[in-house]
Copies of this chain bind each other. A is one copy, B any other.
Amino acid sequence: MLQNKLRTVIVDDHPIVIEGLKNLLKNESNIELIGGFQNGADIMLYLESGKVDLILLDITLPDVNGMDLCLKIKKKYRSTIVLILSNRTERSIVVQTIQNGASGYLLKNSSLDELRRCIAEAVNGSICYSKEVTEILSRPSRNELLAAPRLTKREKQILELIAQGKTSQAIGEELFLSPLTIDTHRKNLLQKFQVKNVAELIMSANQQNLF
């Protein structure tokens, strides 16, 4: 395991961060830096051609959400390790990314030591958080006791349209579906979020950073 260097890429929309990480990691004996990408599309494209062992991934990207991207990567390339490196401190985001298969979550103000430690643990198969993230996770916001529901693609899409104030009728027309179908999705959304009506639904979705 150690004889082979980890083929590593960095995905971050800030070139400065990419440069910084490259610099920080270039002297690591077990890491071979392959490159940096500034958006989700580029890294997905690259993954098709080259083997990658480790991805350092930001949450905030210009084209896709880092959480979704993580899931997409893990689905297609199971063995690739994804470590999240982000500024976002919302508990819901941390939990979501881990559910989506990430092997760890670090804040960008982590030290090199922490990064090193997390990479080592991730390679080992365990999940690792930077100090501050551990703290975020340890104080259970009572909001999160109701675990963030896993939504299907359709549900996310319809939730989005509901948030825009559209009626089931209008959504049905937009998606070429029966309004009755939209009603069913609506019902399922309310159930998944454990709320009684759209007002609560939108509040809850907002608190969980779904928009």
Contact = CB atoms under 8 A, between A and B. Distances in A.
Interface of A: 13-24, 38, 85, 87, 108-112, 162-165, 167, 195-203, 206, 211
Contact of A17 (B22, B108, B164, B196): B108
Contact of A202 (B20, B87, B167, B206): B206
Given A108-B14, A109-B13, A165 B20 contact: no
Given A14-B20, A15-B110, 7 more contacts: A14-B109, A16-B108, A19-B20, A22-B23, A165-B195, A165-B197, A198-B199
B112 A163 contact: no
A51 B167 CA distance: 55
Contact of A200 (B17, B20, B111, B165): B165
Nearest to A20: B20
Contacts of A163: 199-200, 203
Contacts of A17: 14, 16-17, 20, 108
A19 B15 contact: no
A38 B110 CA distance: 12
B202 A203 contact: yes
Nearest to A199: B198
Contact of A112 (B15, B24, B38): B15
14 contacts: A14-B108, A14-B109, A15-B20, A15-B111, A17-B108, A19-B23, A19-B24, A20-B22, A87-B87, A163-B200, A165-B195, A165-B203, A202-B202, A203-B206
